[in-house]
Amino acid sequence: MTTGTTGSTDTSDTGAGPELKPYLRLLTATQFAFNTGFYAVLPYLATHLGDGLGMAGWLVGLVLGLRTFSQQGLFVVGGALTDRYGPRPVVLTGCVLRIAGFCWLAQAGTTVGVIGAVLLIGFAAALFSPAVESETARAAVTHERETGTPRAQVLAVFSAAGQAGAFLGPLVGSLLLLLGGDFRTACLAGALVFVGVLAGHARLMPRRPRRARPAGKRTLLPREVFANRPFLTLCLAYSSYLVSYNQLYLALPAEVERATGSQSALGALFALSSLLVVVAQLPLTRWSARRIAPRTALVAGLAVVAAGFTAVPLAPDGPAGLLPAATLVVLLTLGQMLLAPAARGLVPDLVDEDRLGLAT
């Protein structure tokens, strides 16, 4: 894998990111729009279910868990379908389903209706995200070959765009609520964002011939992917990072409440994480692409993530207890910025191109 820049388009010594071709700009803008539309709605879902619809706490947790499972738990299905049918039909189907899911959620007033809507929204992402991410990885490799710009830099732009959307989305949702809208308005606004995403991909995403299924390979989940030891090692390393990073949403709220007596500081800590990615992702990835190999960046990122947890046992009570929590957030985010582009950039080197959807 190339780790340096050799082409005339290298921007590593400037403040700008790599110059992307129109298709890569579309994929990056898609990630931004996807997260903006999603996070304009998601932060207010639990409040809507509990206060607006009067659901019990356990039922709210069940609904949120089902949404997560229908998305994260079914990524393998979306990836396998992408490898089989190509990214275009999978992305377009995911967009249509997400538009339908948001419109359904805006109108849902019963438990069954809400569960059906969130399952549809989650499954739409399980189709959409693996297709877009595998296509971005494929396009980043092509861009690297043509320009000499390391693929990690392109994937860093993609990551930063997603974080910018995650940061902007709740602000958009809050603005809609402040302007007199309600949860239904936020859902319809999210659906409108995906109408734009659908239109962009329907117009610009290339059609690819449907892959012929080789004799003896009749399943969507090929054994050669799961027998690939280097790839499985990468999956194990990345999974350990995901378990750690998800403590921002699981353990950090409990720690902030223990230290300060409330969770009011959580919003600022989450905003700090997103802003760090938006501001520092590209410079950090440019530096790592020039100085260290992707595998080294992966190991270093995991070490930084691990270091973040050493500050938590030192947390005192009171407002000063936020300093170790902030240290955890900063180090988890810096570790993510080091390892995520490197890990995504390694995937095309470890699996066949026609299995990128499943592997991503």
What pLDDT is attached to residue 223?
Answer: 62
The domain limits of the chain are 21-207, 225-360
What pLDDT, on the 0 to 100 scale, is given for residue 209? 61
Query: Of 6, 13, 1, nearest to 287 (Cα)?
Result: 13
Q: What is the pTM of this model?
A: 0.70
Nearest alpha carbon to residue 340 among 290, 288, 279: 288
Ranges of residues in the chain with a pLDDT under 70 are: 1-18, 43, 180, 208-226, 249-250, 263, 314-315, 317-318, 352-360
Nearest CA to 139 out of 343, 348, 285 is that of 348
Please say whether the beta carbons of 169 and 36 come within 8 A.
yes
Q: Select from 29, 23, 26 the least CA-distant residue to 139.
A: 23
CB atoms < 10 A from the CB of 178, how many? 8
Structure tokens at 352: 């066949």
What does the alpha-carbon distance between residue 327 and residue 46 come to, in Å, rounded to a whole number?
28
Question: What pLDDT does residue 353 have?
Answer: 65
- pLDDT at residue number 355: 62
Task: Find the angle CA(224)-CA(158)-CA(149) to the nearest 5 degrees.
Answer: 85
Give the pLDDT confidence of 183-199 residue by residue, as tens digits: 888 888 889 989 998 99
Q: Which two tokens stand for residue 31?
A: 């990630």
Q: What's the rounded Cα separation, in Å, for the pair 97 and 91?
A: 10
**What is the model's pLDDT at position 1?**
39
Report pLDDT for 226: 66
* CA distance linking residue 54 with residue 15, whole number of Å: 50
Q: Distance from first CA to last CA of the chain, Å, rounded? A: 17
What's the CATH code, domain 21-207?
1.20.1250.20
